């Protein structure tokens, strides 16, 4: 269990003699664990606020793990999708690492102009943007990549992870998010 512990070792010989060591005190910190609810989306929208149809098993884009994924955009029309979850980072944590898998598929043929974007912002409880953690576009197309961000500096606060996908209406770009975790120790 977490906390301070004391250990004493006793040794017995065949004659029944007992030797006892001095007490050794040590601390255990097993960590806090994953603060994200339903990071693999397998329980559908549980824990998430999402635009309709984003959390899906629909064919056309694969999940990174399991059956469900968050599939943002992919319409080829002017469209905005959002996906969010609020988490409270305990004040006692020593580290908080956000990670998720992202796949980007696009039919955009230009290789130098950003047409469609996905942005990950960190917001406070009032909706104020605390930080923009990352931004990706049709220029970043490719298979699943693992992305990670250090959120330790936000300990003691409630923050919202806010993904926003914006398509411009020419050709489709799909942003697929899966296996989101926020490991706090």
Q: What is the predicted pLDDT for the residue at 31?
A: 62
Measured distance CA(50)–CA(70) in Å, rounded:
9
* Cβ partners under 8 Å of residue 64, min gap 6: 101, 103, 144, 176, 178, 179
Residues 46-52 have a mean pLDDT of 95
pLDDT-derived band at 173, boundaries 50, 70, 90: very high
Report the predicted TM-score, pTM, of the whole model to 2 decimal places: 0.83
* Cβ partners under 8 Å of residue 15, min gap 6: none
User: Which of 15-24, 80-89, 96-105 shows the lowest mean pLDDT across its residues?
Assistant: 15-24
pLDDT-derived band at 30, boundaries 50, 70, 90: low
pLDDT-derived band at 1, boundaries 50, 70, 90: low
Q: What is the predicted pLDDT for the residue at 2?
A: 63
Residue-wise pLDDT for 131-162, tens only, equals 999 999 999 999 999 999 999 999 999 999 99
């Amino acid at each position: 269990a977490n906390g301070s512990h004391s250990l004493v070792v006793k040794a017995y010989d065949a004659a029944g003699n007992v030797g006892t060591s001095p007490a050794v005190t040590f601390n255990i910190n097993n960590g806090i664990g994953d603060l994200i609810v339903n990071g693999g989306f397998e329980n559908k929208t549980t824990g998430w606020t999402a635009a309709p149809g984003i959390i899906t098993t629909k064919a056309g884009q694969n999940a990174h793990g399991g059956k469900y994924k968050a599939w943002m955009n992919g319409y080829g029309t002017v469209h905005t999708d959002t996906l969010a979850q609020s988490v409270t980072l305990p004040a006692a944590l020593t580290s908080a690492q956000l990670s998720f898998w992202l796949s980007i598929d696009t039919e955009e043929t230009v290789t130098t102009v950003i047409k469609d974007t996905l942005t990950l912002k960190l917001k406070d409880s009032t909706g104020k943007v605390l930080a923009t953690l990352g931004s990706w576009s049709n220029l970043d197309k490719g298979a699943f990549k693992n992305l990670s961000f250090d959120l330790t500096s936000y300990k003691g606060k409630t923050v919202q992870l806010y993904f926003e996908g914006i398509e411009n209406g020419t050709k489709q770009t799909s942003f697929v998010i899966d296996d989101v975790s926020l490991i706090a120790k």
